[in-house]
Amino acid sequence: MTERNTWIRSLHDLGLAAWFGGSLMGAVGLNGAAKEEGGTSQDKDRIASSGWAKWTPVNAAAIGAHLFGGGGLLAANAHRVAAQQGVAASTAAKTVVTAVALAATAYARILGKKVELASSSDPQDIEKAEQHPIDIDKARRQLACAQWAVPALTGCLVILNALHGEQQRPEEQLPGMWERARSATHFMS
């Protein structure tokens, strides 16, 4: 097949690159800088929360681009998913890991917002935090885990994306489709 999907693939790959890279930089660079420069725990939380809040709209756009591109690639390659041995399994794995990465990202943002409210000096935020008290130490621990889970999961997506690229090679497609057809005939007999 000679059809090109450059724009869809670019949205998919650039979105994933920003999601992975941004989450890794935040976990390493932003959180590390906040720890070094923050002073009190509340100051550290405030610095990190400010940076993560600025990243959130960019991250949302990156995730949206990745998902839109992924849907487009799935539609463009539906024939391979159905006919080529191993492609359906790697697509299913990628779908599951994407869902878990989305959940981890959302959970990290929820925890981050809670920590942000608890560390804020804004009277409205203080009032909101008092209405919804949290165990701040527990929230910080959970947030640290969630913020590291996101780059780990999106890194897995980068690896699965590489596998999909390998499966698209012409020398992989024909044997994979032959193997799928051959295994399907065993079920018919």
Q: Domain containing 127: what range?
A: 8-178
Number of domains into which the chain is organized: 1
Nearest 5°: CA angle at 86, between 83 and 90?
115
Q: Could you tell me if residue 188 is inside a domain?
A: no
Q: Could you tell me if residue 19 is inside a domain?
A: yes
Q: Could you tell me if residue 1 is inside a domain?
A: no
- The model's pLDDT over 51-86, given as tens digits with 9 standing for 90+, comes to 999 999 999 999 999 999 999 999 999 988 888 888
Q: Could you tell me if residue 189 is inside a domain?
A: no
- The predicted model scores a pTM of 0.83
Q: Could you tell me if residue 155 is inside a domain?
A: yes
- The model's pLDDT over 103-131, given as tens digits with 9 standing for 90+, comes to 999 999 999 988 988 887 777 766 776 77
Q: Could you tell me if residue 185 is inside a domain?
A: no
Q: Could you tell me if residue 116 is inside a domain?
A: yes
Q: Could you tell me if residue 83 is inside a domain?
A: yes
Q: Does residue 185 surpass a pLDDT of 70?
A: no
